[in-house]
A and B are shown apart, each in its own frame.
Chain A
């Protein structure tokens, strides 16, 4: 059974940085970070291939967020910098089912970790 467990969320001041982690039970899939602002919908942020060699970002976080993974530790990361109030959200890691180089849906999700920028 695939298990994803996020950690690292918390309260951070505007302009600050935070690194999120996701423990992944299997490492042979592309993975993504997706967020959900309070009371709002879902927003895809970034994806990384199983090898870590191919990375994609949403325009809203490009240049501020960095996705990475360490397959030896079965971990996925999201380094967030220059955080803004609008980055306040529940951050999920999810396993990709990749259809095209940009097209993917998500078959397993973690429970999320809350980031509050204030």
Chain B
């Protein structure tokens, strides 16, 4: 299995801050990476696929980058509705998810 790690495991930020979450794969996954947002009591929501393609309806403040083994999710200006847990997922092989990064208010 391809192992996924995320850093940091949690972060605190102000509304308006630029936030970056990093995801690393145990081997190259090319660009077969997606990002999800999960709020308490809700299902995960797809934000980005193909490492950098924005899912329809997702605000433009979200962006993704990277290839190979290192990927980033960036929120350019954090909004109150963005406080959530963010997961990366590789699909170069059978799907595996990262452990998540919790973004909360400072």
Do A and B pair up? The answer is yes
Interface of A with B (CB < 8 Å)?
Answer: 32, 41-44, 56, 58, 92, 97, 99-100, 102-112
18 A–B contacts, CB within 8 A, in A order:
A32-B95, A41-B87, A42-B36, A42-B87, A42-B89, A43-B97, A44-B94, A44-B95, A44-B96, A92-B44, A99-B32, A106-B34, A106-B46, A106-B95, A107-B55, A108-B46, A111-B42, A112-B43
Total contacts A to B, CB within 8 angstroms?
A: 57
Q: A41-B87, A109-B43 are in contact. Are A103 and B92 (CB under 8 A)?
A: yes
- Considering the complex, give the chain A residue whose CB is closest to the CB of B87: A42
A102 proximity list for chain B (CB < 8 A)? 91, 93-94
Interface of B with A (CB < 8 Å)?
Answer: 32, 34, 36, 42-46, 49, 55, 87, 89, 91-100
- A103 near B91 with CB under 8 A, answer yes
Q: A103-B92, A104-B95 are in contact. Are A41 and B100 (CB under 8 A)?
A: yes
